[in-house]
Amino acid sequence: MIEATSAIACPEEAEDILPMLTRTRERFGALQAQLVRQLGSDSLAELGEELASSAQCTIDILVRNLFERTADVGFLATDPVLRAFCDAAARGDADAAPLLRRLAEYRAKYSVYDDIVLLAPDGRVLARLEEGGPASLAGDPLLADTIARRGFVERFGPTPLARGGAPALLYAQRIDADGGRCAGLLVLRFRLADEMQRIFSSVEQSGRHVALVLLDAEDRVIASADESHVPVGARLQTAPGGEVGLVAFGGREYLAVTRPGAGFQGYPGPGWRAHAMVSLLTAFSGRDAADADAALAPDTVELARLRSELDAINGDLRRVVWNGRLFAGAQQQASARLKALLAQVQEAGRRTRDRVDEAIGALQRSALARQRHAAHDLARLAADIMDRSLYERANDCRWWALSPVLERGLAAPPAAAADAELAAVLRHVNGLYTVYTRLLVFGADGRIRAVSRDADGTTLVGQEIGSALLDAVRGLADSQRYAVSAFEASPLSDGQPTYVYAAGVRDAQRRVVGGIAAVFDAPAELHKMLGDVLGERAGFATFADADGRVLACTDPELPPGSVLPKALTPGLAEFRDATWSVAAVRAEGYREFKREDGYDNRVRALVALRLGERERRGRNQHDIPVHALPPARREAVAGWALFHVGAGRFGLPTASVLEARARDGLVRARLGLPHALGLLEVPQGAGSVVVPVLCARSLFGVSYAPRAQDGVLLVLATAASPQRPAVALWVDEVLAVVDAGHEHLQPVPEGLRTHSPLLSGLLRLMAGGEQGGEILAQVLAADSVTRLAAMAGTAPPPETPEPVAGVVAEAARELPALQR
């Protein structure tokens, strides 16, 4: 509008400004298009990361859980009680009651199973915890597959072992008698529906109405977080490549992400995938990305590029307006119209800049929200993985304490043969369960009877288990209870801080005759958990107790036993000269572990993602409008060209300033002059002249580095030759051109004049809008320019017509060889 109005109403005055208006409008238009694309891209990326996080966490947690099931069925199939029962069943004299009690003990500890079945090789059901069901599985493919395989069999689908023949997830393994003969089959039925609801609940995102489901290889729903929305058995479209894609379901369009499991310790999982989808109607609503500290976070590469473009446009616009006001001051007959036009241009530029700043702020908040959500999701995943792992540790020690070998060995007086048998059992178990540094059994007196593996160069056999752990084991009420040490170093763990899990071994009269202790390999296992969660992301993850003491950390500078720095509080944190997005989630337990058993290790998982180096981006000086105070007499005013260097505002008489030019024209050169930066070629009449460039920061003693976008060259002339460029001054940015009353010019205090001999006065001005206040600008008099020109060797005597003299003429001859 300003462009069109100017061309009609004052074409002569706007002749030099109209091309700038056209260029600025086009550049703002291009920037607007970039912002719209970036806003859309960032919104889609945020949604995609949220869906991908939900899906990946779902399938990875499930695969880790199922990995433990493959170990369970393999170990339980070697249980001597089960093997003896199968042999007795083959002879026809088996008593199922003791076996069922033992299997019930197992299910009570490993509560992820809802049924355990023992089969004969011909398919007959020998024992089963759940009542009812078929008496035989003869002809079921599971039977033949399990007998034919030495390892575990994982099977999901309709089965007679589930009510109504419904689908179930089964883990089966053959039970071998002496000589390798198949004596029977063990089948564990996993509580898949129950477990999936727990997983869905733990990874559920709020505000998006995300549909989270588990899919089989044929894209059919196995489990659904909301069956009224996506029912079990439905077939879905999947998003290819694990990226966000557009899919349809039930006549509606969804954005969805489908992720396979990453596998765990060589176990690939059952081949399922997690699928997260959200309706287009709600995909981009319901999430508040606002963050009061968003302005403190560093820019991303994209935001830095957008800010740089905005700064460049505004800088050019500000410089043109500044030059236009200089011209208006020199052309009194066109002054009013041109000043009005420039005021409108400046205001339009300010409003456009503010609107773009709002858009960039929205991008900043979106990017920050993505990092905040990512950190929180990773911390939640780490806490969940740790609790699930420690749940298994509590189960293991309680189950192993029921071993008849341990009961028999510890109930009898110490003997070499019995202790050797105990050690053999421990070595076998520890070989299967490698998450433990060692396993130990100890007598009722607390003296260690056997270990799975000794420490280097010494043995723990014969040493005391420790009074705290012994007292805890003695105080356990029944076989469902367990004891855990504090997270600390001890001889049992080779001096490494860790947890030691223990349970009591009881005789036939339920008296505690000793115990078993499992030393968790915390240094390796906790670090592995954190590393798997963090992946290749820039940052670190840690487990810490309620006092901030580190249990494990991916950052070597925060070893176990150290204390988390106080700066690492959830939210945005400044740490190690950078900004971090920090999230901390308390490990609240899994199933009955830490929720119903009275135990709480008060651990939290903390994840810190590095956002980048902190740029202290305070408000720019040129963003604050500067005005002249009302003069006492309108005819008694003088024109001042204002600019800033560092935090200081300065002014020069408008008669001494020819124009402000972009810093791109500077040619860096070593001139052998104090405060010199190089050379600048500027127009002069029909040709051009080359003038030296002095650095205002060096002249005024500003030692700290400028901002990346700072830098404007003021072309100055001396009073003796007011139309001829004499020297250029590099300043940070131009501010305004004002007409100030003479009464607002104050003398320079003596101390300040001694420190800055170029100053001739202090000019009182008004900064800010209606709520602003007075400021002082340091004024350089006209003779200061002569001093600067003399300093640069370019103040010729009046009779010398040559525009370039002295050292500058010599440098000008070398100009073609200089690199621009």
Specify whether 256 is located in the same domain as 368. no
pTM of the model: 0.77
193-221 per-position pLDDT tens digit: 999 999 999 887 666 688 999 999 999 99
pLDDT of 808 > 50? The answer is: no
**What is the mean pLDDT of the segment spanning 624-636?**
83
Would you say residue 294 lies in a domain? no
Q: Which of 174-188, 427-441, 658-672 shows the lowest per-residue confidence on average (mean pLDDT)?
A: 658-672
Name the one residue in this structure whose structure tokens are 């700038």.
20
SS3 656: helix
Specify whether 416 is located in the same domain as 365. no
Cα angle 15-17-21, degrees, rounded to a multiple of 5: 125
pLDDT of 310 > 60? The answer is: yes
Specify whether 714 is located in the same domain as 684. yes
Give the integer Cα–Cα distance in Å for 334 and 540.
Answer: 64
Which CA distances in Å does 392 have to 97, 110, 813? 27, 8, 82
Specify whether 600 is located in the same domain as 644. no
Instruction: Give me 264's structure tokens.
Output: 């765990």
Specify whether 154 is located in the same domain as 26. no
Last residue of a domain, one of 497, 521, 545: 521
Would you say residue 290 lies in a domain? no
Specify whether 678 is located in the same domain as 804. yes
Output the domain CATH number for residue 559: 3.30.450.20
70-118 per-position pLDDT tens digit: 999 999 999 999 999 999 998 888 899 999 999 999 999 999 999 999 9
Specify whether 779 is located in the same domain as 808. yes
117-171 per-position pLDDT tens digit: 999 999 999 999 998 889 999 989 999 999 999 899 999 999 999 988 899 999 9
Beta bridge partners of 516: 441, 503
In this prediction, residue 816 has a pLDDT band, given cuts at 50, 70 and 90, of: very low
Task: Please state the three-class secondary structure of 99-140 as a single string.
Answer: HHHHHHHHHHHCCCEEEEEEECCCCEEEEECCCCCCCECCCC
First to last CA, the chain: 38
DSSP 527: H
Task: Give the pLDDT confidence score for residue 113 in this predicted structure.
Answer: 96
In this prediction, residue 323 has a pLDDT band, given cuts at 50, 70 and 90, of: confident
Greater pLDDT, 571 or 755:
571
Would you say residue 296 lies in a domain? no
In this prediction, residue 769 has a pLDDT band, given cuts at 50, 70 and 90, of: low
Would you say residue 671 lies in a domain? yes
Give the integer Cα–Cα distance in Å for 143 and 123.
Answer: 7
Specify whether 99 is located in the same domain as 207. yes
Would you say residue 755 lies in a domain? yes
In this prediction, residue 806 has a pLDDT band, given cuts at 50, 70 and 90, of: very low
Specify whether 105 is located in the same domain as 91. yes
Range of the domain at 594: 524-613
Specify whether 380 is located in the same domain as 313. yes
**What percentage of the chain exceeds 70 in pLDDT?**
91
Would you say residue 298 lies in a domain? no
Beta bridge partners of 693: 678, 728
Which CA distances in Å does 640 have to 318, 589, 654, 727? 16, 70, 5, 18
Specify whether 576 is located in the same domain as 587. yes
Task: Give the pLDDT confidence score for residue 153 in this predicted structure.
Answer: 96
**What is the mean pLDDT of the segment spanning 402-416?**
92
Last residue of a domain, one of 367, 389, 411: 389
Give the integer Cα–Cα distance in Å for 550 and 564.
Answer: 7
Task: Give the pLDDT confidence score for residue 306 in this predicted structure.
Answer: 83
In this prediction, residue 307 has a pLDDT band, given cuts at 50, 70 and 90, of: confident
Nearest CA-CA partner of 623 in 360, 361, 357: 357
Task: Give the pLDDT confidence score for residue 334 in this predicted structure.
Answer: 56
Which CA distances in Å does 455 have to 116, 458, 492, 498? 38, 6, 9, 15
pLDDT of 800 > 70? The answer is: no
Exposure class string for 652-670: b at 16+ Cβ within 10 A, else e:
bbbbbbbbbbebeebbebe
Q: Which of 11-25, 232-246, 287-301 shows the lowest per-residue confidence on average (mean pLDDT)?
A: 287-301
Greatest mean pLDDT among 132-146, 280-294, 619-633, 656-670 lies in: 132-146
Q: Which of 194-198, 249-253, 364-368, 403-407 shows the lowest per-residue confidence on average (mean pLDDT)?
A: 364-368
Give the integer Cα–Cα distance in Å for 731 and 641.
Answer: 12
Task: Give the pLDDT confidence score for residue 296 in this predicted structure.
Answer: 60
Would you say residue 303 lies in a domain? no
Q: Which of 389-393, 716-720, 810-814 shows the lowest per-residue confidence on average (mean pLDDT)?
A: 810-814
Q: Are 583 and 613 in contact (CB under 8 A)?
A: no
Specify whether 455 is located in the same domain as 574. no
Would you say residue 718 lies in a domain? yes
Average pLDDT score over the chain: 87
Count of residues for the chain?
820
Give the integer Cα–Cα distance in Å for 421 and 398.
Answer: 20
**How many independent structural domains does the chain possess?**
5
Last residue of a domain, one of 578, 613, 648: 613
